A and B are shown apart, each in its own frame.
Chain A
């Protein structure tokens, strides 16, 4: 069983469209994240949710809206896509207040905006 799974793995779309990326974790963690990895491989945190509550909301355009229906799911919806949104988006999870605290990552969703 995949611990953190994201769909779709690849997404090619036109500028101006709206798209969503879904993420699910079966590790029983209570905290989930979205990271963006750009073409230079730099990894930047976008959002973090703990028990369905928004904890971290970095400087991200409000076209990006995360939604957490329950603590095992964190979806990312992007409105009015722009060329600069092209990147690989990683979902991750961890356990809040864990002594270890390492993140478990999904395989990534590569978004290409044409």
Chain B
């Protein structure tokens, strides 16, 4: 079955600095990869996805992610962090050849951006 791993429970960055939230995946077929953000006491919101094509995908709020097939990674990045980016970030994967109904989430990474 497909799975994702987010190796960092917590990421701390200073406002204005670049940020990276890491994600690696495992699937038997082609990966469909997603990032979601969860603000306190809210549901998850979709940020961006990789299905096919350009390895660098751009999403909401200035976030982008790079798909790296050889390293089976899909790290989330932003060139300049804002305090308002502080939230819980989830990576997710769906197997493009399998039951495309089944999306699996990582354990989440808490991003804290300090002024």
In residues 29-66 of chain B, which contact A (Cβ within 8 Å)?
32, 34, 36, 38, 41-46, 49, 51
In residues 78-114 of chain A, which contact B (Cβ within 8 Å)?
90, 92, 94, 96-97, 99-108
Instruction: Determine which residue in A41, A42, A56 has the highest number of CB atoms from chain B within 10 A of its CB, and name it.
Output: A41
**Interface presence of B103 (CB below 8 A):** yes
Contact A96 B101 (CB under 8 A): yes
**Main secondary structure on B side of the interface with A:** strand
- Using A99-B51, A101-B32 as known contacts, say yes or no to A43 and B100 having CB atoms under 8 A apart: no
Q: How far is the CA of A107 from the CA of B34 in the complex (A)?
A: 19
| Chain B interface residues (CB < 8 Å from chain A) | 32, 34, 36, 38, 41-46, 49, 51, 88, 90, 92, 94, 99-105, 107-108, 110
Instruction: Determine which residue in A43, A104, A108 has the highest number of CB atoms from chain B within 10 A of its CB, and name it.
Output: A43
| Chain A interface residues (CB < 8 Å from chain B) | 4, 31, 35, 40-43, 45, 48, 50, 55-56, 90, 92, 94, 96-97, 99-108
Chain B residues with CB under 8 Å of A96's CB are 100-101
Q: How far is the CA of A108 from the CA of B49 in the complex (A)?
A: 23
Can you give 14 contacting A-B residue pairs, CB < 8 Å?
Answer: A4-B43, A40-B107, A41-B88, A41-B107, A43-B44, A43-B108, A45-B103, A90-B44, A101-B32, A101-B51, A101-B94, A102-B34, A105-B43, A106-B43
* Nearest B residue (CB) for A97: B100
Beyond A55-B101, A96-B101, 19 additional contacts (C-beta under 8 Å) are A31-B101, A35-B105, A41-B88, A41-B107, A41-B110, A43-B105, A43-B108, A45-B104, A48-B102, A56-B99, A90-B44, A92-B44, A94-B103, A97-B100, A99-B51, A100-B49, A100-B51, A101-B49, A105-B36
- Using A90-B43, A105-B43, A108-B43 as known contacts, say yes or no to A55 and B99 having CB atoms under 8 A apart: yes
Partner of B101, one of A40, A48, A90, A108: A48
Instruction: Determine which residue in B44, B45, B110 has the highest number of CB atoms from chain A within 10 A of its CB, and name it.
Output: B44
Q: Tell me the minimal C-beta distance from A36 to chain B in angstroms.
A: 11
Q: How far is the CA of A4 from the CA of B46 in the complex (A)?
A: 13
